[in-house]
Amino acid sequence: MCGIVGYCGHREAVDVVVSGLRRLEYRGYDSAGVAVADDGRIQELKRAGKIANLDAALHDCPLPAARTGIGHTRWATHGAPNDLNAHPHVCADGRVALVHNGIVENWASLRAELAEDGIAPVSDTDSEIAVQLLGLAVGGGLSLTEAMRQVAPRLDGAFTLVAIDAADPQTVVAARRNSPLVVGVGQGEHFLASDVAAFIEYTREAIELGQDQVVTITPAAVAVTDFDGSPSEVRPFHVDWDLAAAEKGGFDWFMRKEIHEQPEAISHTLLGRHDLGGRLVLDELHICESELALIDKIVVIACGTSFYAGMVAKYAIEHWTRVPCEVELASEFRYRDPIVGPRTLVVAISQSGETADTLMAIRHARAQQARVLSICNTNGSTIPRESDAVIYTHAGPEIGVASTKGFLTQLMACYVLGLYLAQVRGSRYDDEIAATVAELERMPGLVQQVLDAQDVVMELASELADARSVLFLGRHVGYPVALEGALKLKELAYIHAEGFAAGELKHGPIALIEDGLPVFVVVPPRGRDQLHDKVVSNIQEIRARGARTVVLAEEGDEIAAAHSSILVTLPKVSTLLQPLVAVVPLQLFACELATRQGHDVDQPRNLAKSVTVE
């Protein structure tokens, strides 16, 4: 969850590191700190709270103009978010400083071992255990790289460690296991970070790291080995977005900017994945068509917003392929002894590609010989590397903690996958697939149409700024849209919000309805299995009990409009694709309501962008 930056080169390290931390603050903002190696000493400064607190401290007490440094922005796990527990941590003799992302699960036994050596950690964190062990190793004559190779294998759990040694001030050493780390390659300088956003201002050339590897950077070179010291092959890649993509571009929030980037983002997800005749072309899949044709079960695993994308995928995949599809919370998957095997396709959805629960789930699936296909936005991340195949969403950087364009591009990737499987298996005619692909091509324009008509949602957020509870109803693919709408409101506005399947209303949730309660209702397009009429009946039931109905219905739906307190008009689309347009007003509403309530939309309390610990 935490953000990590390391630098060595010709620039002032504090400037580079703090700049990088600002771009990683979405990963955690409980505390922040920086340390530099200068004149044979480690000098560090850290503060609880957001990076602005660190900035103020650095203004009052500047660190030396050193050329090597590390930094950290924290999402607290072990120990309260205060100055003492903030990173970097420094070993007992002051020689080594370290920043850490993840959890050291065997910290208690290691702490007891340190006590036998007369070392008593001063913080409440598991992270300090690692730096004290490194300090003992370099004090015993090992280089920092050798010490890292010795210490890292002793740590249980998921971690990235980045350290500097006052006695070797032009070197930064890092190790990773089940936690993100990427190398930035510059001219006479190198970078380490949890995410390429930290160094995109300086270079777009990067190296992805594998599991259980140690990397050593100096201004002149990068060396990567396994924990046992064996040289490892490096895999360079080019970042296909630039600094401007990581800036707000005139918007008040990254989240609002990312909502408005969605037409372009879903266009990028579809780009190059079909030919002129509408036939799907997924050259990046490394699972042969003959194998996909034999798949008899599909399991989608994901967490949070990605889980709701998976719920939509289930409807589409089963409808197009006639293959049973389950959707599982990744955090529950491996603990219930799931039935998967060689003819199971596990689809793992993760924006960051580092979600710990999802990563553990795909490892369990592969141990059962299932094939794994990941849907991901982040090139070089762990989940795609450990999957048999990947569909990248090409959404560009998503900085806002609450996912928006990540969700829509995941939906688009799921539709592409479902249609491709239907094509491979022959469960849909070519002209049917081509017609759906043509509709997908129109979706960027239709999403833009929704964005252009946002005034009604903005006014609604103003009217409901004091609301303390909001309900969301939907059926079919509208149900996961309702869940996602409620999640966005919980994440950003900190109010009670629940999503329900509209057909379940009379089975309990209707007891929540009271006079004036805002209820958002996603109305299916007309003409599908009487779903439209059934949802209209639900609207009538809750209006009769005094609810204020905010109805999302396709243009021209006069029946739904007649039963709405407030109507939000959606473009006409087929039922399965409606989530692409229906969720956008809910994103806008949550963003605007939180803004009017005075909350930090990009950095909601207690949350971080990428959940890299279980």
Q: Rounded to whole angstroms, how far apart are CA atoms 570 and 584?
A: 10
* 334: in domain: yes
Q: What is the dihedral of CA 326, 332, 333, 338, to 10 degrees?
A: -90
Closest CA to 467 of 521, 518, 542: 518
* 315: in domain: yes
Q: Residue 246 pLDDT more than 80?
A: no
pLDDT tens digits along 580-613: 999 999 999 999 999 999 999 988 887 766 565 5
Helix axes 51-60, 13-24, angle to 10 degrees: 160
* 196: in domain: yes
- 487 with 446, same domain? no
* 438: in domain: yes
**Residues tagged active-site:** 2, 609
Q: Which of 417, 451, 485 is the last residue of a domain?
A: 451
pTM of the model: 0.76
Count of domains observed in the chain = 3
- 213 with 327, same domain? no
- 241 with 327, same domain? no
- 185 with 324, same domain? no
Helix or strand run (H / E) with residue 423: helix 405-425
- Average pLDDT (320-335) is 94
- 445 with 547, same domain? no
Question: What's the token pair of residue 511?
Answer: 């007891």
pLDDT tens digits along 440-468: 999 999 999 999 999 999 999 999 988 89
Q: Residue 212 pLDDT more than 70?
A: yes
Q: Residue 64 pLDDT more than 90?
A: yes
pLDDT category, 197, cuts 50, 70, 90?
confident
Q: Which of 246, 269, 287 is the last residue of a domain?
A: 246
Residue 209 CB partners (closer than 8 Å, separation 6+): 176, 181, 182, 183, 215, 224
* 117: in domain: yes
> Which pLDDT score, from 0 to 100, does residue 214 have?
96
* 339: in domain: yes
Q: Rounded to whole angstroms, how far apart are CA atoms 207 and 215?
A: 11
- 345 with 482, same domain? no
**CATH, residue 16:** 3.60.20.10
**CATH, residue 554:** 3.40.50.10490
Q: Which of 213, 246, 279 is the last residue of a domain?
A: 246
Closest CA to 93 of 139, 24, 162: 139
Listed in order, strand segments (DSSP E) in 447-596 are 469-474, 496-501, 518-522, 548-554, 566-570
- Average pLDDT (283-312) is 93
* 605: in domain: no
- 227 with 276, same domain? no
Q: Rounded to whole angstroms, how far apart are CA atoms 53 and 57?
A: 6
pLDDT tens digits along 106-124: 988 999 999 988 998 889 8
- 484 with 429, same domain? no
* 291: in domain: yes
- 45 with 72, same domain? yes
Residue 322 structural domain? 254-451
Q: Rounded to whole angstroms, how far apart are CA atoms 231 and 504?
A: 58
- 419 with 465, same domain? no
- 472 with 447, same domain? no
Q: Rounded to whole angstroms, how far apart are CA atoms 130 and 128?
A: 5
State the average pLDDT for the chain. Answer: 92
- 433 with 485, same domain? no
pLDDT tens digits along 15-58: 999 999 988 887 777 899 999 998 899 999 999 998 999 999 99
Convert 81-149 into a string of H (helix), E (strand) and C (coil): CCCCCCCCEECCCCCEEEEEEEEECCHHHHHHHHHHCCCCCCCCCCHHHHHHHHHHHHHCCCCHHHHHH
